[in-house]
Every structure is written in C-alpha cells, then in structure tokens.
A and B are shown apart, each in its own frame.
Chain A
C-alpha cells in the first residue's frame, strides 16, 4: 500500500462530496492514482455521491434560461461546410457587378410578403450572455415553404452568422451562395450547404458595415458574379 494511505483513505467521502479544499483534493487524487484500495473505494462510493444529484426536488427551469443559453451557443456554433472566397467588399471597386435587384421580381416580393410581419423583426438584442442581435430574414415561401433564416450579429468583435432551417435540399452540384448587398451592388461572399434537415450555418466574413442586406441564392457553381434567377431564397436586412 502506498505511503500516506492511512491519512488519505478517510478523505474519500469528503472528496466525493466536494468537501475537500482544492489542495487537499489534488493531493488525494494523486494518492488514488497509485493506490488500488482507495481507487476501488472511490468508485464504489461514487455511485452514492452521483445519486445525490438526483435526489433533489424537481423544479421547472425558467424558459428564459434556455433562450439565453441557446443564443450564446448558436452565436458560437462552428461553421459547417462553408467555403469562403477571397473577399473584396463592394466599397469602391466592383463596377462590373450588375445593377442589383433586377431579379427581385414582383412575384418574389409577393411570395415573401406573407412573412413580412415576422421577417426583419429583431428577435433579440443585447442578450446578457453574448451581446448579440438576432434578425429574422425573409424566405421565399414559394420555393421554401418551411424555411427560416436568422442572422446573428455580435455587438462587438466577431463574425456574424447566418443560420437557415428547413431549406430545400440541394441537388447534386448545387450550392447555396451568400451575398452582401448594399442596395445597388451584390457581392458573393461564400457558399454553404445544408444537411438533410435543410439546416445550414454560414459564418459571414468581414463584418457587416455597409451591408444593407444579406442574401442567399442557389447556384450551380461557386464564384458566379451575380445572383442567378430567380433570385434570392433568403433576404435579411441587417
């Protein structure tokens, strides 16, 4: 039996209950690594200590707790399947980009009109955990009846994130393309795909300064210069 066993073996209960101050807990852990007797006892009694967590009266957690937790988590969710292009934002030098919005046809506007009451509204702002602003987007209901889109914009540092749910699955060879629009110009910023549930996340590059709208189109190849007809599936006013 390793040295110090006598003095350590009585610590097992206190250790499992969280009653040992940090230094003593560390010393105990060290001893346990080299002491099979203490290790066995620790594992045996751990069952009791773990059970204590479940013996408490069950109360209902407030919904606001989940909301603020999930806001923070979504803002941090990693980007899946997003490929970024070298970005040049349309500040000065993108003269060749087509005068925008021509493809925002009356039919499209009609289709998204149904959602207008919801879209564009700021869903949350300044949440305690992550200081993000969340904006709901407009989804073309004709092409994506169950689609939703949310733009999460950090108040300070950090990239904005676009999340989409319930989007149409992409046929082979197709991609979703994200565009920045400042009203007269559209600039492609990158592509993403969605999973089987139609969910996708895109981390938006370069901040959103000067960007009036973030849009998503379906494209056959990355790197197209202008959105292909019939235009954007998703539009989010920043």
Chain B
C-alpha cells in the first residue's frame, strides 16, 4: 500500500486499469470523501448518498479500461461520474422535493483528521469556488443550484420559477460565465 499511496492520481489510475484492487482502494481513499459530500449535498440523505457513491465507484471499477486521462484531473472525472449518477437517482424519484437543492440544514461535519498540504489546498479551493458562487446575482445562483445540485431539468426549473425556459437557460449560461471570471485563469482542474 505504501508504494501506491505515494503515487499521483494518474499513476494510481493506471494500476486500477490493470485491475489492481488495492490501487482502487487508494483511489477511493482519496476521492471517496468529496464524492460522498457531493452526493449527500444532492440527495439530502445519507442512504441515497451511499447508494450513489457505491454505484458510481463500481461503475468506475467496471469500466476502468475505458478511462482516458487526456482531459482534466482524476478527481474532476470521478466527481463528474458521481454527479451523473446522482442526477439519475434524483430523476428516478417520482417526488421532487423543491427544497432538495438548498444547502440549508446540511451542516458541515468533517473535517479530515490530518491537515495535509493536499487537504489544505483542497479547502482553499472550496473557499474559492464558494466565493465565486456568492458573487452571482440571486436569480443566476438559484438556477445554477437547482440544476446542478437539485438535478432538475431546465423545464422543471422554468415551471418552479414561473419563468420562460429561454430565460432560465440564459441565466445558467451567464452564471457559469461569471463564475469562470471569478475563478480566474488558474483553472480549477
């Protein structure tokens, strides 16, 4: 394990691609927490969040040979898969809870016991993104949150807000563009 834990994500991923279950464990140890946090934020309960993460990581394991490391970081790739799975899970639910996209009531429980450099950098990054979100006008923030964390489609959001679909789409785009400027040129890989 010691050799694997010293490897960069990309190298760990290569070992995973060769079917190394221990490398997969390292992958989970590194990204399972942020993945669970995202799933929990979206699902609003631990049971569904666990299902989502289990589902996402199993799909990563089972389709490991298809991973291509050309774009973005391993973490971004994994979180993208978790996000997709979470949206699927939310859309399968017949009852849409309008409040589920709200972060109210989700208290921060953490935090990682060891404050490593990596962990510190990660928290700094989280702060940066939250700051960028805070700068969004309310109407843009609302549609971005409902879509990304709530898993609602543009038409559902338009219904909720009693706004034209085109307006909703426009706010989404404007919101992401504004965030992009706040995040600056140093890409959050």
Interface residues of A (CB under 8 A from B): 10-14, 16-21, 44-45, 47-62, 64-66, 68-70, 72-74, 76-78, 80, 129, 196-197, 199, 201
A69 engages B147 (CB within 8 Å): no
A47 to chain B, nearest CB (A): 5
Q: Check: B70 CB closer than 8 A to any chain A CB.
A: no
**In the complex, what residues of B have CB within 8 A of residue A74's CB?**
21
With A and B bound together, what is the CA distance between A11 and B132 in angstroms? Answer: 22
Shortest distance from the beta carbon of B4 to any chain A beta carbon, whole Å: 9
A-chain residues with CB within 8 Å of residue B180 when the two chains form the complex: 44-45, 47-48
Q: Is there a chain A Cβ closer than 8 Å to B74's Cβ?
A: no
Also in contact, A53 and B22, with CB within 8 A (given A17-B176, A61-B53): no
Size bin of chain B's contact surface = 35 or more
Residues of B within 8 A of A (CB): 1, 3, 19-22, 24-25, 28-29, 32-38, 40-41, 46, 50, 53-54, 57-58, 61-62, 72, 76, 79-80, 82-84, 87, 103, 106-112, 122, 125-126, 129-130, 132-133, 144, 147-149, 151-155, 157, 166, 168-177, 179-180, 183, 187-188
Q: Is the CB of A77 within 8 A of B21?
A: yes
B119 to chain A: closest CB distance in Å? 10
- The answer on a CB contact under 8 Å between B38 and A62 is no
The SS class assigned to the B binding surface is: helix
Q: Is the CB of B148 within 8 A of A49?
A: yes
In the complex with contacts A17-B172, A47-B180, A76-B62, A69-B34 CB distance below 8 A = no
Within 8 Å by CB of A70, from B25, B36, B109, B171, lies: B25
Q: Are B170 and A10 in contact (CB under 8 A)?
A: yes
How close is B69's CB to chain A, nearest CB, in angstroms? 15
- Kindly provide the distance from the CB of A12 to the nearest chain B CB, expressed in whole angstroms: 6
Q: Within the complex, which residue of B76, B103, B112, B157 is in contact with A53, where a contact is CB–CB below 8 Å? A: B76
**B residues within 8 A CB of A45?**
173, 176-177, 180
C-alpha gap A16/B80 in the complex (Å): 10
6 chain-A/chain-B pairs, Cβ below 8 angstroms: A47-B183, A50-B80, A53-B82, A54-B125, A55-B130, A74-B21
A60 to B113, CA, bound (A): 10
- Report whether A55 and B129 are in contact in the complex, using a CB–CB cutoff of 8 Å: yes
Bound Cα distance from A201 to B22, whole angstroms: 12
Nearest CB on B from A56, distance (A): 4
- The 8 Å CB contact of B147, one of A17, A44, A59, is A17
Interfacial chain A residues near B179, Cβ < 8 Å: 48, 51
A111 CB, nearest partner CB in chain B, Å:
26
Report Cα–Cα, A73/B16, bound state, in Å.
11
Q: Which residue of A lies closest to B1 (CB)?
A: A197
Q: Is the CB of B126 within 8 A of A58?
A: yes
Cα(A61)–Cα(B112), bound, Å: 11
Give the chain B neighbours of A19 by CB distance below 8 A.
Answer: 147-148, 152-154, 157, 172
What residues of chain A lie closer than 8 Å to B79, measured between beta carbons?
50, 53-54
